[in-house]
């Protein structure tokens, strides 16, 4: 039997597993839910009829999301993480062989799902300062059916200002512009309010980062009502389970708590940046640059990423390793102290 090459050539996503004293590798929030809120949610989960299918439209979650972000519920589709939404969009809003523009470096899953959807990927390199080259991107989008990029970007931690995103949207009206705003809670340049102004705009959000619910698997597509009705029709009917729906709706209603956590994470990320930047100043031969982050993580450019990564791992500290650098997520003060102390040990001669 011959299975398709697009399947047999896949390399499975390889997240860091095992036990680490400090986990700063997956860009999660370092806040778990307060236990009172967990108990409240546990009570609600007890009320669920487990023998029944969940609400196909995740109405409660979508309404809580819409209220928190000031968008219309009719413009929001809930998915099993934004990963599911990306798969769905590339698989149903595009046809086999069509052109998808990505930027490089960016979130690796776009290329992965594009290959499964048998799309032709056109990769536009970023500038040497790791910023998106807006003019080059606009040029590439003229011949393409869609573009997808994260803003702010995972892994670079940098953002493309709203004015540039708008210029792209307006300069390529026949190209679907998919802006993955997984980290936009930590910056303030969202274009989510424009989904009814621009027919070619789709914005993605997730509960996995600032909302602190990576365990629950909930992501969103925000776009005009017409396209929303199409995506809702294209998705599998029961894509979001009843338990996740309860959890995410309850947490998205905690607006004050969410804003507080987000502010704290931003402060902690700046502290992490400052700490790492001091090391960059002191060990310029080993660490090249750390970029001022718009996200909940920092990206340190270094030719020694692999070596440093392994040493940190031995010390029980998990970060994410890339060929040209390390991505380190904000954690608690204690975690930062452990990380910075260990980094110092590794770097000093
Ligand atoms: C983490 C992340 C997501 C979120 O994926 P989920 O499936 O919602 O957990 C999406 N896009 C980017 C760029 C991310 O870094």
277-324: per-residue pLDDT in tens? 999 999 999 999 999 999 999 999 999 999 999 999 999 999 999 999
pLDDT in tens, 100-121: 999 999 999 999 999 999 999 9
Alpha carbons 37 and 312: distance in angstroms, whole number: 34
> Could you tell me the maximum CA-CA distance found in the chain, to the nearest angstrom?
62
* Domains of the chain, residue spans: 5-30+256-347, 45-253
Residue 141 CA: distances (Å) to CA of 5, 159, 186, 252, 327 = 28, 19, 27, 35, 29
> Is the beta carbon of 87 within 6 A of some atom in ligand 1?
no
> Is the beta carbon of 319 within 6 A of some atom in ligand 1?
no
Listed as ranges, residues in the chain with pLDDT below 70 are none
How big is the chain, counted in residues? 349
CATH, domain 45-253, list 3.90.1580.10, 3.40.640.10, 3.40.50.880, 3.90.1210.10: 3.40.640.10
42 alpha carbon – ligand 1 mean position (Å): 26
Nearest alpha carbon to residue 293 among 261, 330, 258, 335: 330
CA angle 71, 77, 257 (to 5 degrees): 55
pLDDT for position 120: 98
Could you tell me which residues are beta bridge partners of residue 335? none
Q: At residue 347, what are phi and psi to the nearest 5 degrees?
A: -80, -30
| pTM beyond cutoff 0.85 | yes
> Is the beta carbon of 83 within 6 A of some atom in ligand 1?
yes
pLDDT for position 18: 79
Q: Count of alpha carbons within 13 Å of 208, Cβ hemisphere only?
A: 21
- Tell me the pairing of strands 289-290 and 320-322: unpaired
pLDDT for position 48: 97
Alpha carbons 275 and 328: distance in angstroms, whole number: 12
> Is the beta carbon of 151 within 6 A of some atom in ligand 1?
no
Instruction: Return all residues near 69 (Cβ < 8 A) that are at least 6 apart.
Output: 192, 205, 222
Tell the burial category of 179 from Cβ atoms under 10 Å away from its Cβ (0-12, 13-18, 19+): buried
> Is the beta carbon of 25 within 6 A of some atom in ligand 1?
no
Alpha carbons 28 and 44: distance in angstroms, whole number: 25
Alpha carbons 179 and 192: distance in angstroms, whole number: 9
Contact present, 85 and 205 (Cβ < 8 Å): no
pLDDT for position 301: 97
Strand order in 297-301's β-sheet? Answer: 289-290, 297-301, 325-329, 320-322
Measured from the Cα of 219, ligand 1's closest atom is 8
So what CATH class is 5-30+256-347?
Answer: alpha beta
Alpha carbons 310 and 318: distance in angstroms, whole number: 9
107 alpha carbon – ligand 1 mean position (Å): 8
């Amino acid at each position: 039997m011959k299975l398709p090459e697009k399947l047999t050539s896949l390399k499975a996503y390889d997240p860091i597993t095992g036990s680490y004293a400090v986990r700063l590798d997956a860009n999660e929030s370092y806040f778990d839910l307060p236990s009172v809120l967990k108990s409240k949610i546990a009570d609600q989960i007890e009320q669920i009829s487990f023998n029944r299918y969940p609400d196909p439209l995740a109405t409660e979650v979508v309404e809580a999301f819409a209220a928190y972000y000031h968008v219309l519920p009719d413009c929001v589709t809930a998915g099993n993480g934004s990963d599911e939404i990306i798969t769905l969009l590339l698989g149903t809003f595009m046809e086999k062989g069509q052109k998808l523009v990505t930027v490089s470096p960016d979130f690796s899953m776009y290329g992965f799902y594009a290959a499964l959807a048998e799309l032709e990927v056109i990769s536009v390199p970023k500038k040497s300062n790791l910023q998106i080259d807006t003019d080059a991107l606009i040029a590439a989008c003229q011949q393409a059916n869609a573009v997808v990029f994260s803003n702010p970007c995972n892994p670079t931690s940098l953002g493309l200002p709203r004015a540039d995103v708008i210029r792209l949207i307006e300069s390529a009206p026949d190209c679907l512009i998919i802006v993955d705003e997984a980290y936009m809670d930590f910056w303030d340049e969202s274009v989510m309010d424009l989904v009814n102004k621009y027919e070619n705009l789709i914005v993605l959000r997730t509960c996995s980062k600032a909302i602190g619910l990576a365990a629950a698997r909930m992501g969103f597509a925000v776009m005009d009502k017409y396209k929303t009705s199409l995506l809702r029709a294209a998705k599998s009917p029961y894509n979001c389970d009843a338990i996740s729906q309860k959890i995410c709706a309850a947490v998205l209603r905690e607006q004050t708590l969410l804003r507080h956590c987000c502010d704290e994470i931003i402060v902690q990320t700046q502290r992490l940046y400052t700490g790492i930047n001091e090391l960059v100043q002191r060990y310029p031969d080993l660490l090249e640059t750390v970029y001022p982050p718009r996200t909940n993580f920092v990206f340190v450019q270094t030719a020694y990423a692999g070596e440093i990564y392994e040493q940190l791992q031995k010390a029980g500290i998990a970060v994410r390793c890339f060929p040209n650098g390390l991505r380190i997520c904000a954690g608690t003060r204690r975690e930062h102290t452990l990380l910075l102390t260990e980094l110092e040990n590794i770097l000093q001669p």
